[in-house]
Amino acid sequence: MLGQCAAYAEGLVRLNPELVLGIHWRLSKPGDDDYDEEALQDDPRYETGEIDIDDESTWPTQRWPEHYFAHDEKYAYDAMGRHPLPYEDWDETTTGEDPDNVEDYGMYEGGYVDSAMEHAQETDVFNRDAYQPGQW
């Protein structure tokens, strides 16, 4: 199911071109189970010596996309409905993302876009408030 939220967000942007994409990120620090030590050698700072494989104190925090959404100035939208901005409770959130980055992050599966658009229209996602923590 990896990538369906990105396809859903893309579908929402197609339905409403005034929307832009946002990404929730999971941050990973050296020593975390999901920290990718092999990726350090692909970082340009490795070549300049800023990153020393033998010195964890020089290793940067890595970030991994956790969830994609579409947003305007007031709300974030996903399959759950609309969420008031800021749409937080994640390690890091970026808004106004370049749609080309979605494919770059490897979570985009274009086959879901049409069904996402259909679901969004059937469930009135743009006008349906999503569950908020502590709401019920």
Distance CA 91, CA 95 (A): 14
Q: Which residues contact 23 (CB under 8 A, 6 or more apart)?
A: 65, 66, 67, 68, 69, 93, 94, 97, 101, 105
The residue ranges of every structural domain in the chain are 4-123
Helix ranges (DSSP H) in the chain: 4-15, 44-48, 99-104, 113-123
- Among candidate residues 55, 86, 54, 64, the one with its CA nearest the CA of residue 73: 86
How confident is the prediction along the chain (136 residues), in pLDDT tens digits per residue? Answer: 346 888 889 899 999 999 999 998 889 999 899 899 988 888 899 999 999 989 999 999 998 888 899 999 999 999 989 998 887 778 888 889 887 777 666 555 556 788 889 999 999 999 988 865 554 4
